[in-house]
Structure 1
């Protein structure tokens, strides 16, 4: 599912920030995402966006961590989507959804991303990878948080 960001999409708003690979960075990224997406006029999808960032940043921390390297959260708003990208330095560790047992504590993050995002995938980089997800803005009604599915 490696669909890169469409080059024809005009980015209306954008935010990019590098984080230290510590657990507190995941909550910082989640809160920043919720605030920015709301400020950009889409409070109805801010919760979904922040949960996706939390899951992808958590994966970058757990599976993509390289000593001395940061992970990056890049948010983009176009006329039709909120795009979330989380980049880390470990390209050999590509995420794949799995079916954890009921008593397993971990393993549901990408299932959550898949449920909330219209599409998601992985793009290799020269060093590392970017895991991205897109939320279609047509799914929210007037920024109220109600979906028009």
Structure 2
């Protein structure tokens, strides 16, 4: 399948980089001709990057955020070094502050999942189908 657009950037696993990744992917989605998807891409980037920092980071290792348009799909990937810590959606009680991120991801994209990362770690991905 032809890749029409692609961008990837490594980040140190620190909270301020969640905002940087979110802003970058939203801007790219809009610049690549999909401005209606930019808010959803931004929010999903925020959720997956936060999860990578909280649950998948290791001292001295970077996380990678990749956005690409391949054929008729916009695909976001967030990779981290901890393959053993795979995402598991759960139902949070109304009193819980956390635990809703993956449900939100599932609601905002057409499909999502995870798999091994080339080398070490895992990649969590989200996809949106594009017209055409």
Give the TM interval when normalised to the shorter protein: over 0.9
Gaps of 5+ in 1: 1-8, 139-149
Partner residue in 2 for 1:103: 95
| Residue 100 (structure 2) pairs with residue 137 (structure 1) | no
> Which residue of structure 2 aligns with residue 17 of structure 1?
9
User: For residue 116 of structure 2, what is the aligned residue in structure 1?
Assistant: 124
Q: 1:1-149 maps to which residues of 2 (within 5 A)?
A: 9-125=1-117, 126-138=119-131
Per the TM alignment, residue 79 of structure 1 is displaced from its structure 2 partner at its CA by 3.5
- Per-residue CA distance 1:53-85 (angstroms, 9 max, x = gap): 110000000000101001000000123111000
SS in 1 for 2:42: helix
Q: Which runs of no fewer than 5 residues in structure 2 stay unpaired?
A: none
Q: Where does structure 1 differ by over 2 angstroms across 4 or more consecutive aligned residues?
A: none
Once the two structures are superposed, residues 92-145 of structure 1 have per-residue CA deviations (whole angstroms, 9 ceiling, x without a partner) of 00001000110111111100110011111111134110000101123xxxxxxx
Structure 2 equivalent of residue 144 of structure 1: none
How many residues matched? 131
Per the TM alignment, residue 20 of structure 1 is displaced from its structure 2 partner at its CA by 0.7
**Quick one: distance in 2 between partners of 1:25 and 1:34?**
14
In the aligned structure 1, how far is the partner of 2:78 from the partner of 2:87? 12
Higher strand share: 2
TM-score by length of 2: 0.95
* 1:87 partner SS: strand
RMSD value over aligned CA atoms? Answer: 1.2
